[in-house]
């Protein structure tokens, strides 16, 4: 292990940064798009099943196939990888946002309305805080997926820790395979832990009771 770090230490840092960069942007875009859409779907339930079904259909496309499909459109590199991973990040966040918002008690919505809150104020001050644990669970699941699948992005020249893994497979080098795989696992675990802490912080105290 020490020999690997002495030879590939700087490359490991750089490729870890690439991996975090691709994963973070993909997940961030997924949150920015999926959370508002999930909230809106609770106000337009007739189209909710259609939208969630389309997101589910996109999720069934194999990762490598979707990455390959992006090449004619965006070329090679980080951009096609980010777009593909963004698409994959949508379903868990969208579905959990919808379920979390839809699971808020109608009594609480009526109480908010009785207090003079507008629909928007009810969403921001009452429904989203109560749905936060379910929404965060979707974001945590999506984050784990994105970090794992980002390793495949090296196939289209996006870089990241997948470079070590696939070079190791091509050269039959166990040290390269482990040098890429172990950081990916650690990144997924650390991210899930941090998002779990954020989930606890966002969970209303009444939800713990």
pLDDT score of 112 more than 90: no
Domain ranges of the chain: 2-208
pLDDT of 12-37, one tens digit each? 999 999 999 999 999 999 999 999 99
**Residue range 130-145: mean pLDDT, rounded:** 93
Q: What does the alpha-carbon distance between residue 136 and residue 124 come to, in Å, rounded to a whole number?
A: 16
Dihedral Cα 82, 83, 85, 89, nearest 10 deg = 120
Q: What does the alpha-carbon distance between residue 185 and residue 179 come to, in Å, rounded to a whole number?
A: 11
pLDDT of 54-95, one tens digit each? 888 888 888 888 888 888 988 888 999 999 999 989 999 999
pLDDT score of 115 more than 50: yes
pLDDT score of 208 more than 70: no
pTM beyond cutoff 0.85: yes
Of residues 141 and 108, more confidence is placed in 141
CATH superfamily of 2-208: MetI-like (1.10.3720.10)
**Residue range 139-154: mean pLDDT, rounded:** 92
């Amino acid at each position: 292990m020490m020999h690997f770090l002495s030879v590939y230490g700087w490359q490991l840092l750089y490729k870890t940064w690439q991996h975090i960069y691709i994963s973070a942007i993909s997940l961030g875009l997924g949150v920015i798009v999926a959370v508002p859409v999930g909230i809106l779907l609770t106000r337009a339930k007739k189209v909710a099943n259609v939208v969630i079904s389309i997101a589910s259909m996109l999720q069934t496309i194999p990762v490598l196939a979707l990455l390959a499909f992006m090449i004619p459109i965006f070329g090679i590199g980080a951009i096609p990888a980010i777009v593909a991973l963004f698409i994959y990040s949508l379903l868990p966040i969208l579905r959990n946002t919808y379920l979390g918002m839809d699971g808020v008690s109608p009594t609480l919505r009526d109480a908010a309305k009785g207090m003079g809150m507008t629909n928007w104020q009810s969403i921001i001050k009452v429904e989203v805080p109560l749905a936060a644990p379910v929404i965060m669970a979707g974001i945590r699941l999506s984050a784990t997926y994105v970090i794992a699948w980002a390793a495949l992005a090296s196939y289209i020249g996006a870089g990241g820790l997948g470079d070590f893994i696939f070079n190791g497979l091509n050269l039959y080098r166990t040290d390269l395979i482990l040098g890429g795989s172990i950081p990916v696992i650690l990144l997924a675990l650390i991210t899930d832990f941090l998002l779990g802490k954020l989930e606890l912080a966002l969970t209303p105290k009444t939800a713990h009771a």
